[in-house]
Structure 1
Amino acid sequence: REERKGVQGYGTRHQGETENSVKGKAGRRRTQHKARAGQKAMAMTGEEGQLARVSNWPLYYLFCFGAELGNELFYILFFPFWIWNLDPLVGRRLVVIWVLVMYLGQCTKDIIRWPRPASPPVVKLEVFYNSEYSMPSTHAMSGTAIPISMVLLTYGRWQYPLIYGLILIPCWCSLVCLSRIYMGMHSILDIIAGFLYTILILAVFYPFVDLIDNFNQTHKYAPLIIIGLHLALGIFSFTLDTWSTSRGDTAEILGSGAGIACGSHVTYKMGLVLDPSLDTLPLAGPPITMTLFGKAILRILIGMVFVLVVRDIMKKITIPLACKIANIPCDDIRKARQHMEVELPYRYITYGMVGFSITFFVPYIFFFIGIS
């Protein structure tokens, strides 16, 4: 009888330990699931992020938002919004500055070849760009160039207090720069170098932005020169180093810039979008009405659906076609895209068509249906 009691007692303790173990494992799984929320798996390398416990969720999501201000999703919404709803001239020139800054930043990374911060001790909450080099931070460069350029391009052209711009610049720049340190992707030195490098680039090239934009719109052979120059720069960047996401991103940036510039040329020749004359400056913002707001939302919805459809169609066409022409197996898309013969034409052509759609096809649709 005592032996049976002992066995029953052991069974009860064992059952309790098993239940606690299961609960503990479930709790750990929930914690791990929460920790993985917001992380991006590396699509091109299959790399996954570390498990990390987040104790301050508001700060975590704030810096996730700051990191997104330098990613594709932000750019594909931000530049079309300027071109379709706010001011096409400012939108085009923002793209010119963005292409120049990002191209020089990406190429400088592949020349200096400084690695990312070591992990450990750094905890990396993002790994999407982990295969790239670190110095300088192109997120910091973009987060510096865009707000400064917005103020430089709009102040005096539009009526608004300068203090708004002076508040916007440090807030935007600080959010993006600090997010890269928080995410574990850059050191403080990378951020400082990216910021100073951008200031130097703007000081040297900003005076020529007006000239570049006018050339893109008015010169007879502008499309041929734009396509040839951007393609040559893409080929040069692909020869700097072995494969990394930096090469594809550079081709994507150059393709987008070429497409937007060529689209603006055709749009100007057809008279679809006309910039206001100089004697009307500075411009005053129109009163916000339901009609104005409704048309803006409609333009965004129609335009983004068209742009995303174009991107998906071109992606499905260009990758298999490039693989076939270069005689590269297309069974594993990830490996195929690590060849310059596939990645460069795929990114350049696909995002070239995306850029061309933003400045020509979509404004033509707006003009056709009466919401231009």
Structure 2
Amino acid sequence: MATDLIKGFVRLCLNLQDPHHVARFQQLCGVRGTFPRKSARTEEKELEPSPNGSCVKQCTRESIDDGSVGQNISDLRQRKHTSSETTKQEECSNGLLNGAAMPETAEPEEQNTQSESCPNTDSEQGGSKGIVKPLRKNSLTGDVGQEFIIENKFLFCLFTFGTELGNEMFFIVFFPFLMWNVDAYVSRQIIVVWVLVLFLGQSTKDLIRWKRPASPPVVKVEMFYNSEYSMPSTHAMTGTALPFSLFMLTYGRWQYPFLFGLSLAVCWSFLVCISRIYMGMHSVLEVITGFLYSVLILAVFQPLLDSIDQYYLAGSNAALVIVAVHVGLGMLAFSLDTWSTSRGDTAQALSTGGGAALASHLNHQLGLQPDPPLSQLPLVIPAVDGALLGRSLARLLVGVAVLLATRAAMKALTIPLACRVFGVPPGDVRRARQNAAVELSYRYLVYGTVAFSCVFLVPLLFDYLSLS
């Protein structure tokens, strides 16, 4: 009985890891690849087991996941006596737009013509489709990715927003907004959750070492993280841990309806998780694993957050412990594997958490920015009016501008300095940052300073400008 359950579970995991599920979802959402026809030798090679430790065999024949492809090809052959222009448009829509391999009868020159005919066909249909490339190139290799076709621009914008909820620019706005405009107590603990989730998630990726879903059949709508390992999805982890932790920390501390907070957390998490499949960055299994992994982390650490926060604020050796823990974990992360963007992101999260914790400790020692006394709880959400919105917006604009300027200045100073100190040629910045000493120095000095400024220096600037 137990053996049958294990075998059934393994079969389920193999099924959920299949990249064709990702390709089907992308097609359902209006994403079409422009993949060229593959040779028989290439197809045989891609049928071999993947060497990266994953449990899936890649298969590029679109007929496996779309039974209509064979019929489409048959229809094309039946219409072979039609005009050449009409045939090219039909092959573009039935072949390239579906992400399927082109028929064997197609000649290389004809394939090039078909690819070029797609934009013309789209424009004749009123511009409902667009041929685009990934928004950002690969951060490690510089690869810009392959063109793809978007047939539903609303879903493209929606899922692009969803995936940005797990990227750096969102966090550099979200955490300061909580700190300056909502509740510093909640912000400090949310940052602890974020650091834990990213460290554990990225480290697990480096231990499991599964590659991203194969393309084809998957369309790479995003390329920035394509060189990282993919199991589990850290976007799904942060996209689950942050909203649910925020809900658990604020409900009861602030007065708002339970269903409102829960619904917001569920929608946030669902949007981020689904966006990673849409982008072609993760399989269904990797997203589900990321979701469950973050739930496990919250179950273990959420009850401990208040104790951790109190120690960071008032512990006698808190400053030393903060530095030792955050730097030590960063060095451990870099020892797990060769350099990649995931190691850099882990060090960035740890340095941000360390800088924020040190600044919070200093604030507590100096008696600055005290938390509201327990007698004032639960806090009441103030009425939103023009004055409140104006002051909040002013704090956000001024503060984020300071943080971005700090990041730019520190980045310009740190990388050349680290290259000189560690004897690394500074000409190629991307290659220089693949040196662990340079990358660790850069991440800790830059983002530690940014986080320290966010929690300690920027609030002082608000006092000076009468924006507190």
Partner of 2:205: 109
Q: Is the 8 A contact 2:136 2:144 kept in 1?
A: yes
Partner of 1:228: 324
Partner amino acid, structure 2, of 1:303: G
Partner of 1:326: 422
Q: Is the 8 A contact 2:134 2:145 kept in 1?
A: no
Deviation at 1:35, TM superposition (A): 3.2
Partner of 2:456: 360
| In structure 1, distance between residues paired with 2:449 and 2:117 | 52
Partner of 2:215: 119
Deviation at 1:295, TM superposition (A): 1.1
Change (3 A) 1:55 1:224: same
Task: Give the counterpart of 1:132 among 209, 225, 228.
Answer: 228
Deviation at 1:223, TM superposition (A): 1.8
- Percent identical across equivalent pairs? 52
Partner amino acid, structure 1, of 2:386: M
Q: Does 1:218 align with 2:314?
A: yes
Q: Does 1:317 align with 2:413?
A: yes
Q: Is the 8 A contact 1:323 1:336 kept in 2?
A: yes
Deviation at 1:25, TM superposition (A): 9.4
* Alignment deviations for residues 202-253 of structure 1 (CA, whole Å, 9 cap, x no partner): 1111111001111111123212211121111000000101121101111111
Q: Does 1:252 align with 2:341?
A: no
Task: Give the counterpart of 1:341 among 412, 417, 437.
Answer: 437
* Alignment deviations for residues 2-28 of structure 1 (CA, whole Å, 9 cap, x no partner): xxxxxxxxxxxxxxxxxx99x959849
Q: Which has the higher contact order (CA 8 A, sep 6+)?
A: 1
Alignment partner of 1:209: what SS? helix
Change (3 A) 1:256 1:29: farther
Partner of 1:192: 288
| In structure 1, distance between residues paired with 2:410 and 2:190 | 25
Deviation at 1:371, TM superposition (A): 1.3
| In structure 2, distance between residues paired with 1:74 and 1:199 | 22
What are the equivalent positions in structure 2 for 1:31-180 lying under 5 Å apart? 34-36=130-132, 39-180=135-276
Partner of 2:446: 350
Moved over 3 A (4+): 23-31
* Alignment deviations for residues 59-83 of structure 1 (CA, whole Å, 9 cap, x no partner): 1110000000000011000000000
Q: Answer 1 or 2: which has greater helix percent.
A: 1
Deviation at 1:298, TM superposition (A): 0.9
Q: Is the 8 A contact 1:107 1:240 kept in 2?
A: yes
TM-score (norm 2): 0.72
| In structure 2, distance between residues paired with 1:356 and 1:122 | 41
Alignment partner of 2:254: what SS? coil
Alignment partner of 1:122: what SS? coil
Deviation at 1:369, TM superposition (A): 2.0
| In structure 2, distance between residues paired with 1:25 and 1:55 | 12
* Alignment deviations for residues 304-326 of structure 1 (CA, whole Å, 9 cap, x no partner): 11101110111011101110111
Alignment partner of 1:35: what SS? strand
Q: Is the 8 A contact 1:272 1:364 kept in 2?
A: no
Task: Give the counterpart of 1:287 among 376, 379, 383.
Answer: 383
Partner of 1:17: none
TM-score (norm 1): 0.91
* Alignment deviations for residues 96-135 of structure 1 (CA, whole Å, 9 cap, x no partner): 1111011100000000111110111111100100111010
Cα RMSD (Å): 2.0
Task: Give the counterpart of 1:271 among 351, 362, 367.
Answer: 367
Deviation at 1:201, TM superposition (A): 0.7
Partner of 1:6: none
Change (3 A) 1:272 1:38: farther
| In structure 2, distance between residues paired with 1:332 and 1:151 | 44
| In structure 2, distance between residues paired with 1:128 and 1:27 | 29
Q: Runs of 5+ in structure 1 lacking a partner?
A: 1-19
* Alignment deviations for residues 249-289 of structure 1 (CA, whole Å, 9 cap, x no partner): 11111011101111111122222211111111111112223
Q: Which moved more, 1:123-132 or 1:219-228?
A: 219-228
Q: Which moved more, 1:269-278 or 1:104-113?
A: 269-278
